[in-house]
């Protein structure tokens, strides 16, 4: 199945090592930008105390995940830190049909697959923490994960970090407001570039 981008929306990917602040950034971005909607992923991970089902994730069992996978329900899926995560094809198509941009809060594996499937309309952004010390602080401050989970996530840090080259934009998240501002400018610029490209394509077809 393919996403038909009839209304010419963008597909915005946000990735980062765990604890770099990506989910907070995504929330702020969505609050101030009514033309962007979040793709709410399915996951087999346990719900954190402050998370809400169907708002942060759709929390499902491994059995349910396997069933959906078999039905080809996911636009992409991946195993991240021993849990499964997947993007709903249908939800992405619905957001796109409304003429809105889709925001994906996904890892590097998902990013590769989305880029392959949605190609030229993808804007990929990688968020870096200002330092490893700050990342450890944020992971601990979140205090929603037990210690062994925090340790597990830290052990993946270098590997996750190594994927920065696969993204079009790389930002250091020193201050939340500044990072969100930069992402807003990136999105605005990418919208203009896309409109221009589409106009040129239309013109060329008629020449």
Residue ranges binding ligand 5GP (CB under 6 A) = 18, 41, 45, 76, 78, 80, 85-87, 105-107, 109-110
Q: How far is the CB of 198 from ligand 5GP (least distance, A)?
A: 28
Distance from C-alpha of 83 to C-alpha of 203, rounded to nearest angstrom: 47
Q: How far is the CB of 105 from ligand 5GP (least distance, A)?
A: 5
Q: Coil, strand or helix: which one is 156?
A: coil
Q: Are 92 and 5 in contact (CB under 8 A)?
A: no
- End-to-end distance of the chain based on CA atoms, in angstroms? 32
Sign of CA dihedral 3, 125, 191, 103: positive
Nearer to ligand 5GP by Cβ, of 86 and 129: the residue is: 86
Nearer to ligand 5GP by Cβ, of 102 and 187: the residue is: 102
Q: How far is the CB of 116 from ligand 5GP (least distance, A)?
A: 13
Q: How far is the CB of 22 from ligand 5GP (least distance, A)?
A: 6
Q: Are 37 and 103 in contact (CB under 8 A)?
A: yes
Comparing every residue's Cβ against ligand 5GP, the nearest one is 110
Q: How far is the CB of 63 from ligand 5GP (least distance, A)?
A: 18
Nearer to ligand 5GP by Cβ, of 149 and 194: the residue is: 149
Nearer to ligand 5GP by Cβ, of 87 and 124: the residue is: 87
Nearer to ligand 5GP by Cβ, of 138 and 194: the residue is: 138
Distance from C-alpha of 182 to C-alpha of 10, rounded to nearest angstrom: 17
Distance from C-alpha of 202 to C-alpha of 96, rounded to nearest angstrom: 21
Return the axis-axis angle of helices 147-155 and 132-142, rounded to nearest 10°. 150
């Amino acid at each position: 199945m393919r996403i038909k981008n009839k209304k010419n929306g963008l597909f915005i990917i946000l990735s980062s090592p765990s604890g770099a602040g990506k989910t907070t950034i995504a929330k702020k971005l969505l609050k101030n930008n009514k033309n962007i909607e979040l793709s709410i992923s399915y996951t087999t991970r346990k719900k954190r105390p402050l998370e809400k089902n169907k708002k942060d994730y759709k929390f499902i069992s491994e059995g349910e995940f396997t069933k959906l996978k078999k039905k080809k329900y996911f636009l992409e899926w991946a195993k991240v830190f021993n849990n499964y995560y997947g993007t709903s094809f249908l939800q992405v198509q619905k957001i796109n049909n409304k003429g809105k941009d889709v925001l994906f809060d996904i890892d590097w594996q998902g990013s590769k697959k989305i880029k392959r499937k949605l190609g030229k309309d993808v804007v990929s952004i990688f968020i870096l923490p200002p330092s490893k010390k700050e990342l450890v602080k944020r992971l601990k401050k979140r205090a929603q994960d037990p210690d062994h989970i925090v340790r597990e996530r830290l052990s993946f840090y270098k590997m996750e970090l190594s994927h920065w080259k696969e993204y079009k934009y790389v930002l250091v998240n020193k201050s939340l407001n500044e990072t969100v501002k930069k992402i807003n400018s990136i999105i605005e610029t990418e919208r203009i570039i896309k409109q221009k490209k589409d106009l040129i394509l239309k013109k060329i077809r008629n020449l």
